Structure formats: structure tokens, C-alpha cells
A and B are shown apart, each in its own frame.
Chain A
Amino acid sequence: MTVIGWAQIALFSLILLVLTKPLGLYMARVFQGERTWLDPVLGPVERLVYRLFGVDPREDMRWTTYALALLAFSLVSMLFTYAILRLQGLLPLNPMGFSTAKAPSYATPMTPDLAFNTAASFTSNTNWQAYSGENTMSYLSQMVALALHNWVSAAVGMAAAIALIRGFARRSAQGVGNFWYDVTRCILYVLMPICLVYALFLVSQGAIQNFAPYTSVTTLEGAAQTITQGPVASQEVIKMLGINGGGFFNANSSHPFENPTPLTNFVQMLSIFLIPAGLCYTFGRMVRDTRQGWALWAAMYVLFFTGVLTAYHFEAQGNPNVARQGVETSTKQLGDVGGNMEGKEVRFGLANSALFATITTDASCGAVNSMHDSYTPIGGMIPLANIQLGEIIYGGVGSGLYGMLIYAILTVFIAGLMVGRTPEYLGKKIEQKEVKMAMLFILAGAASILIFTALASVMDLPAESALNRVGLSSTYYGPTYNNINNSGPHGLSEILYAYSSGTGNNGSAFAGITVNTPFYNLTIGLAMLIGRFLMMLPALAIAGSLATKKHVPASAGTFPTHGGLFVTLLVGVVIIVGALTFFPALCLGPVAEHFLMHGGRLF
């Protein structure tokens, strides 16, 4: 670790802190229907959009109607994406001819299972990618089928969080807001203005933005090289700001055309945390007590900092097996281009790689600027554990906040048990229904991760089973545990990471595992839908239940939820729930590997 590495992490934290309030305040105005400085431009567009949708934005929806609208919209847009992916060979903007007879030899076919997996992935804000963009997707698929969801899945997540906030804020109310209104305002007033400026900034730094076919060049030493092209920057910005994470290229944000400089890297990291950090303030503002929002922010920061400290430390220590080959890895000698540089870019070095990996998994982003699969065991366990905690450390757009609020409900419930008093949170009594829904939220995620991982770790498919065949190729893997790229404990980590990432709607990967087979495409696709909707619906149910309740004024017996004690307890609950659920699995994977690595054992 280096001083300048820490200085970059400190600068990141500082800027995040400074931006939280202005953005949070702005978003509160947007979702409470107040005037903003963009109204003169966006007001007419907004009204046109409601006319195109055919909806009345003033209709106040009960939570059930809100949830049905959300589900219907997600289903329709998922089918739309599936259709475009399957038909991309017949559609325009396909200069490389993917899914047609004139596709280049390196192209991957768009099979039904891959299209299902990808549609589920982008609809659920996961952006798990069983394909490599540069050899599978036409420009139209990238822009319309995929990037559409980068916008709307972020807006849907934000809408669910806003509905839950309204549940706390309203008193004896039936409705939790209007779904179409929330989605539209999120896209038009929050995402689009930022993305416009952000995309041009990325291009100025070297991110590409064109519709040209790939460029063939002859290198200085006379070799042939094909330089990829495409509308990258416009997709990159919403991939980061919408916390989607699905790269235009396979290498994602480590690709120089997606993330050309350390400066773009810094802005990309900020843009992951920007909205979820701001939403903490929005929450405080909407429930008329900003201290409540800052308490959540503080709990998130503690967890974030612990993660980045651990990941950075272990990456800087490096891999003793590499050092043993006479390789200089000391960061004292090399600064932040020492340590474990496998799967990392020189321009980012260790600090910015460890920081990015922590941020992208604290949030449900899943973009990567370094390959998590090649991290040291404990360095790589941090992203994995972050996902398993439910991505509530700032978290996804909206999903982070409603996840953390569910942990807050659990915390006041546990505190209530300790003193034998009906718990309250923000003046609302937390009763049976809320706690049941909170537990459903936590159990759905844990069950999906652990059961699917167990299944894929032992499932013996016949050697030529079509269920585990790569694309349409002649490669058959047979048993599902054959798809891993690393043996020993690291192989288990690859499978565990895949289902954690899918269920957590993260989308990053220990990417060595081969997942473009029907078995993995279908099971991970299912995990992503479970992780999205079986976790979002309980949050909406809680919103509906809370909205109907009366406000209970705080008394001497009320547990204050804005101070250090609550923050400590909340962090404790998050860690204990996560540890109780996943510690055994993590022991078999990263922890075992850590000790074996230091013993010099190779697989």
C-alpha cells in the first residue's frame, strides 16, 4: 500500500461526501413533484412521455397496483429484449454481420438460452454477461435491446426505493405513489442530464462513439490487428450511473476504449456510488429528518471502508507463488504497480483496482476494471462477500437503499427484542408483517445463492449432455463442475461467485468459469429473476403496509435511529446475518485457498 494510493481513496471519499447532499436534495425535489431548474426544458417532454405511455401520472397507486405495473413493465421489456437479440441477424446496425451467414469466424451464436439469460440479466439490472460483446452483439442489440434496460432497470429500482420511502413518510395513506411517474422522472430528470455531460467527458478522454465497422490495421512489426469500434461512450455512462455494469466489450471497464485514463476511472467509480449515496439524503429529506439518512450513509461508509482496506492490503501483499519465481512484487520498490498485477491494468495500479472492485460489488454494479478471478484469495473474497451481504453498501440504484432499510427494520426489531418493546422506525410500528417480509427478502437471496451453488458443484451430467454444451460448438463439458477454469478451492469460488453475482444482481464474475451453456444460462437467469423480484416485492409490501400506519410520536422509550449506537448495531446486524449465512461456504473457497497459497500449494 502507498501513501498516494490512500490519498486517492481519501479524495474519492471526500468528493462522495460533498456530492451526497446536493444530489439527494435534487432527487427529493424530483420525486416529490417540486419544481427543478430543468422544468422549462423537460416539462413538455415529460408530459409527452405520459401521453405516449397512455397513463395518468397523478393516479396514486396502492402497493399491489404499483407492484403489478412494475412486474408488467419488466416482463414486457424483457420479452422485447429477447426478441431483438434473437432477431439481430435480420435487423439493421449490424456491420459485422453477427447472427448471419457472413459473421466473422470468431463470432458467438445467439442461442435461445443465451438470449434468455441476457434478457433476464439486463431486465434485473444484473448485467451478467455470458457473451463477449465484441463478438456477439450487433450495435442495435447493444443500444436498443441492452442499453434500454440500463436506463429502465435503474429507474425501476429507484421507483421501488422511492415507494418504500413514501411508506415511511406517509401517514394513514392507501397509496405509495405512481410507478410511471417515478420511472419517467428518474430517467428524464436524474439519469439523462448527468449522462449527457458524462458521455461527452468520456469521449474527450478517448472512449469511442461511432457506428463504423471494425478497423483493420497492420502493426509496427507487421502483424494484423482488428480494432473494435462502436457506440461505446453512450452505453458506458448509463452502465455506470445506472449501476448496471454490462460492458460493451468483454474486458468491461478495463478496456481502454471504455475506461481510457485514470481520470475516467475515478469518475466512473464516483458515478457508481453517486446516486445511491444521494438517495440516503433523499430518504432523510422525504421522511423529514435528514439525520436518519446520514445514519444509513455512515453505516454504509464503515462497511465500504472495511472492504477497501482489506482488498487493497491483500492485493498489495501480492501472491507469494509469483514472488517465488524471482519476481519483484514489493510495493516499496514498485509502488502501486507491484503486488498482485495479474489481471490488472498498469494505468490503474493496485489502489484504483482494489477501490473499483470494492465499489462495484458494494453497489450492484458489476463493472470491473480488473479481473476479480485473479485477485488474491482474501482480496477476491471482499467482492464476493460484498455481494452476499446484499449489496446494501450504497448498493444499486434504489435497491441499495431499500435493502439497507430492510436491514434497518431488522435492526430495530432485534433491538426491540432485547428490551421487550414493540419496535418503531421513523415513527412507524414494526410489526409481524414487516418482519416477515424482511426475512423473506433475506432468505430468498441466501437460498438462491447457496442452493444453486451446491447444485452446480455436484451435478453429474452425461459427457455429451446438451445441457452443458458451449453455444452451438462441439465443446461439451458434461458435469457442471467441469466448467471451472481453476481447480482446488478457487474452482468452488468461481461457482459461488457466479450465483452470488446473479442473485445479487451484480453481474461481475470470477470470469474464468464457462457459463455460456444451457445449464448455467438457465440457472443463473433464474437466480437473477429471483434476486430481483423476490427481493423487490417484499420491499414494496413493506411500503404498502407502512403507508397505512399512523405516526407514533417518539417517547422516552423510543430507540433513536440516527446516532452512533444505531449505526454500530446496524453494521453489526449486516455482518452477523451475512456471516451466519455465508461463512461456511467462504471457508471452503477463499479462506481455504488463502492458507494453501501461503503453503505454496498449486492446483
Chain B
Amino acid sequence: MFKQVLPSIRATIALAVLTGLLFPLLITGIAQAVFPSQANGSLIKSADGRVIGSRLIGQPFSRPEHFHPRPSAAGSGYDPTASGGTNLGPTSAKLIEGLPDDRETKDSDESYSGVKQLAERYRQENGLPAGAPVPVDAVTRSASGLDPHISVANALLQAPRVAMARGLAESDVVALVRRHTEGRDLGLLGEPRVNVLLLNLELDRLRGAPPSSKP
């Protein structure tokens, strides 16, 4: 075995340099030269040059005049430093029925919204009658917790609320949703979807945004 130890040490160092340093440096060099926007996170800048997000990373939205993303398990919601899903299984009471706040511990709010509460809230926000079917992506948390997309059915159900909050015609908002619907890649792969951040950005650029949405 000892005859193989020296080559092992030399191989570890040589390959660490080759695969661990030279390869990523080479890729970084080419990527920064050829695809600088993508390589740095597809960041979106506002008119005054501030970075306001990444087109690939979802953001939390709760105001009525914005489309709302899926619920998120990343940190306290859409936190890229803590990406991940709920990891709750199909028979989890927490997943389905949620958790109430534990009144014994006064400092922190331990309540957790299950599918039940999320569905009720969704109906309430969007003026749907009790028991109206809610699209499943609107009440389930994604794998990354950063899912930038919602389903088309989900977006269309939110359109009347957004139109009303902005004083826009519902048909205009629906048309905007249609325009922001990304099709399947190559016409086959993946699912049709709506990028919430890009859609909301476009809405904010339009007139009709009430004063409350200005930070």
C-alpha cells in the first residue's frame, strides 16, 4: 500500500489544482466574457441603477395590486440564503391543517399556514366563494422556496383582484398575463408558466398603480 501512497498524495494535489481551480477559473473567464448577465445572476436593475432582484429568483409579494407568488419555505419566504422546501410528507397534519400559535411562548409566533389556511386566504383575497377550487400550485410550497413562477390558472384567478386594485380593465390585466406566459421550452419541455416578478414589474411600469404601491 505504501508504494501507492506517494502517487496518491501527488495525484490529489495535481487533480485539486486541475479540477478544483483551473477548471472553474476557465469557465468563469469564458462565462464572464460571453454571458456576463447570466453568469452574475440575471439581475434586474431599476431605472436609477439599483438592483431590484433576479429574473430567476422569486420575491415575496402581498399587496393586492401585485400578483402573488406561491407560498415559500425558504427562510421566512423567498430567502435565497435558506433555499429549500417544507419536506412535509403527504400525511403531515402540519402540511394540511397548519399549526396554531403556541400561546405559552409569547415572544415568537409559531403559527404555520397549512393547505387549509392557504386555500381559505387565497379565496378571500381573490373574492372567490367558499369552497371554490384553488389551483394546487397556489397552496403548495415549491422545492427551492424560490420558484419564480406560478401556473397560468393561478395567475388568471388573481387577475380580477389586481385589475380592481389598480383600476385597470380586467381584460387588460388578463392580456398582460397572456403576454407574460412563457411556453414550453422548444414547444415540448416543461410547463407553461408566468414569471411573477417580471409580470409585476410590467404592471408597475404601467399607469394605474395606486399611490400605496410606491415605497
Chain A positions within 8 Å of B, measured between CB atoms, are 4, 7-8, 11, 49, 52-55, 65, 68-69, 71-73, 75-77, 80, 104, 106, 132, 134-135, 143-145, 147-148, 150-152, 180, 183, 187, 192, 195-196, 199-200, 203-212, 214-215, 217-223, 225-229, 231, 233-235, 238, 249-251, 254-257, 260-263, 265-266, 318-319, 321-322, 325-329, 333-349, 352, 368-371, 373-377, 380, 485-490, 493, 510-512, 593, 596-597, 601-603
Contact = CB atoms under 8 A, between A and B. Distances in A.
Contact of B66 (A52, A220, A344): A220
Given A261-B185, A322-B96, A344-B142, 5 more contacts: A69-B4, A255-B146, A256-B147, A342-B86, A343-B141
Contacts of B119: 325-327
B20 A371 contact: no
Nearest to A180: B7
A116 to B, nearest CB: 17
A195 B90 contact: no
B189 A352 contact: yes
Contacts of B108: none
15 contacts: A52-B14, A54-B7, A69-B7, A183-B11, A204-B38, A220-B53, A233-B27, A251-B143, A251-B144, A251-B146, A325-B116, A340-B136, A342-B86, A493-B89, A603-B92
A329 to B, nearest CB: 5
A8 B15 CA distance: 38
B178 interface: no
Nearest to A105: B81
B60 interface: yes
Nearest to A256: B56
Interface string B151-183: 101000000000000000000000000000000
A261 B55 CA distance: 12
A242 B85 CA distance: 25
Contact of A227 (B80, B132, B201): B80
Contact of B185 (A226, A262, A340, A344): A262
Contact of A200 (B27, B52, B59, B88): B27
B31 A203 contact: yes
B124 interface: no
A383 B23 CA distance: 32
B85 A374 contact: yes
A346 B142 contact: yes
Which of B57, B62, B189, B200 has the most chain A CB atoms inside 10 A of its CB?
B189
B13 to A, nearest CB: 8
Contact of B43 (A215, A322, A593): A215
Contacts of B92: 486-487, 490, 602-603
B190 A348 contact: yes
B50 to A, nearest CB: 7
A489 B186 CA distance: 41
B24 A132 contact: no
B30 interface: yes
Contacts of B8: 69, 72-73, 75-77
Interface residues of B, number: 109
A226 B43 CA distance: 12
A322 B140 contact: yes
Interface string B43-75: 100000011111111011111001000100011
A54 B80 contact: no
B136 A338 contact: yes
A143 B21 contact: yes
B16 A80 contact: yes
Contact of B90 (A249, A257, A327, A376): A376
Given A251-B84, A254-B142, A593 B93 contact: no
B85 A343 contact: yes
Contact of A371 (B19, B55, B87, B134): B87
Contact of A215 (B51, B144, B189): B51
Contact of A352 (B149, B150, B190, B204): B190
B85 A206 contact: no
Contacts of B206: none
B89 A374 contact: yes
B149 A250 contact: no
Given A134-B81, A227-B54, A326-B119, A256 B20 contact: no
Contact of B39 (A73, A208, A493): A208
Contact of A346 (B61, B151, B185, B215): B151
Contacts of A342: 85-86, 88, 90, 95, 140-141
Contact of A486 (B38, B41, B91, B133): B91
A200 B38 contact: no
Contacts of A49: 14, 18
A348 B136 CA distance: 15
A132 B12 contact: no
A485 B88 CA distance: 7
Nearest to A336: B191
B96 A321 contact: yes
Which of A225, A374, A489 has the most chain B CB atoms inside 10 A of its CB?
A225
Which of B20, B135, B193 has the most chain A CB atoms inside 10 A of its CB?
B20
Nearest to A263: B185
Contacts of A326: 119, 123, 131-134
B120 to A, nearest CB: 8
A143 B39 contact: no
Contact of A203 (B38, B56, B81, B136): B38
Contacts of B149: 345-347
A211 B32 CA distance: 11
A221 B31 CA distance: 32
B57 A344 contact: no
A346 B191 contact: yes
B7 A602 contact: no
B131 to A, nearest CB: 5
Given A261-B185, A262-B189, A206 B15 contact: no
A322 B13 CA distance: 52
Contact of A208 (B40, B55, B78, B191): B40
B90 A265 contact: no
B31 A321 contact: no
A207 B38 contact: yes
Contact of A206 (B38, B74, B186, B191): B38
A209 B39 contact: yes
Contacts of A134: 80-83
A597 B90 contact: yes
A334 B135 contact: yes
A122 to B, nearest CB: 12
A369 B147 CA distance: 11
B18 to A, nearest CB: 8
Which of A203, A490, A603 has the most chain B CB atoms inside 10 A of its CB?
A203
A346 B137 contact: yes
Nearest to A490: B89
B48 to A, nearest CB: 12
A249 B153 CA distance: 30
Contacts of A339: 136
Contacts of B62: 221
Contacts of B207: none
A487 B88 CA distance: 10
B39 A210 contact: yes
